[in-house]
Structure formats: C-alpha cells, structure tokens
A and B are shown apart, each in its own frame.
Chain A
Amino acid sequence: QSVLTQPPSASGTPGQRVTISCSGSSSNIGSNIVNWYQQLPRTAPKLLIYSNNQRPSGVPDRFSGSKSGTSASLAISGLQSEDEADYYCATWDDSLNAHVFGTGTKVTVL
C-alpha cells in the first residue's frame, strides 16, 4: 500500500494531452522533489522527469512535470503510440525515512 496514489489507468488518442496525478502528503511530496519514471512493457524503468519538472537529456519536451502542495502531475502532450507504458511517481518520505513509489498508472493510446 503506497503512500503515493495514482489513477490506475489513463488513455487518449494520438495527439491528445494526457495528465497523470500523484497524490501524497506533507511528509513526502509536500517536502521533497518528485520524480517520474516511464516503464515500457518488459523493460526497466526509465527516468522521465526529475526534481519536479526537469527533463533528462533525450526526453522529449512533450513530457512535463509539475508540483503543487502535496500533489504532483505528469502531462504528456501530443500523445504518441510509443508512450503506451506504465508511469510511476516517486519521492522521499520524511516520516517513513524511505523512498516511495506511486501505485503506477497505465497509459493506453486508443
């Protein structure tokens, strides 16, 4: 049972904008940076967004992250078929003294 809650699924047609939420608390998202990971089928996770809204080199600018209070969001604009994957938010929790991952969201391109 994760302390970071994400919707189980999200979907959109090619070209649409999809947003994934990550809900936490003052001891995790409210106090620390949020990172996002993309996991394509049968592959290792890949860092997509770090430090709330920073993209690593090579990540398309279609992906963007934001944080407000105890929640964070990942937006995918101009959805493409290759974006079909599982997405996880993650952060540090000061109360648990542990790194925590979100419950994960499966994005489907219709």
Chain B
Amino acid sequence: QITLRESGPTLVKPTQTLTLTCSFSGFSLSTSGVGVGWIRQPPGKALEWLAVIYWDDDERFSPSLKTRLTITKDTSKNQVVLTMTNMDPVDTATYYCAHGDYINYGVYFDYWGQGTLVTVSS
C-alpha cells in the first residue's frame, strides 16, 4: 500500500524559504521507473506542477520556478524534500507530493498525499 504525507510549516513570511518534506511508504525511490513529484494548487485555482525527482537522481523543474526550487531525496529515510526560496503571497497554496510512474513518453502520478496548505503572509 503506497502512502505519502507532506509536512512543513503552515505559515511563512515573505522572502523566507519554504521547506517541505514528503514522507512515503510502500515503494522505494531506488526502483527503476519511480519518481516523486510536487504539485501545488492556489485556493480556487488549477493544479501547477513544480518538480519531480526520479530513481536515477534525474531532477526536473517548472521553468518559471526553476531558480527558486531544489529537490532532494533520501532513499534510506523514504523522504523527498522540496525547498522554495524567496516566498511571496502568490505562493500561498496547497502543496501536494505524489508518487510518479515514469513510462515511455511521460510520467503519471498515481498516488497523492493529502496536501498541506502553506500561507505566505507577514
């Protein structure tokens, strides 16, 4: 049974750095074809993909946020950490992590965490 859970601060101040941890079970991020992605959703708005890290350490980022994001994995702890620098109120959103299956010509996210709402405000 695959489960994922996001954790981190619920409130951050503008210009601060956000650090979110995705703790998962039921799979290994060292298994070929597996990835963990981050997706966010501002209140009342659409989903926005942020980043993904794969079993082979390949990392991909949203072009519009690339300079602000880092993603790391700790295979032994079954965790993936996303950091986003220089937070702004427009970054207020629910942040999800998800298990990804990489196949030819794409990846799909078949298991999702419940999400964590991060509010950016002074």
- The interface-forming segment of B20-28, B85-93, B110-118 is B110-118
B11 within 8 A of A: no
Number of interface residues of A (CB under 8 A): 27
Chain A residues touching B, majority SS: strand
A98 lies within 8 A of B49 (CB): yes
B106 lies within 8 A of A88 (CB): no
Tell me the bound Cα distance from A102 to B108 in angstroms. Answer: 14
Tell me the bound Cα distance from A33 to B103 in angstroms. Answer: 9
The residue from B48, B63, B106 contacting A33, defined by CB atoms under 8 A apart: B106
A62 within 8 A of B: no
Q: Which residues of B contact A (CB under 8 A)?
A: 37, 39, 46-49, 52, 60-63, 96, 101, 103-115
Q: Which residues of A contact B (CB under 8 A)?
A: 2, 31-33, 35, 37, 39, 44-47, 50-51, 56, 88, 90-92, 96-104
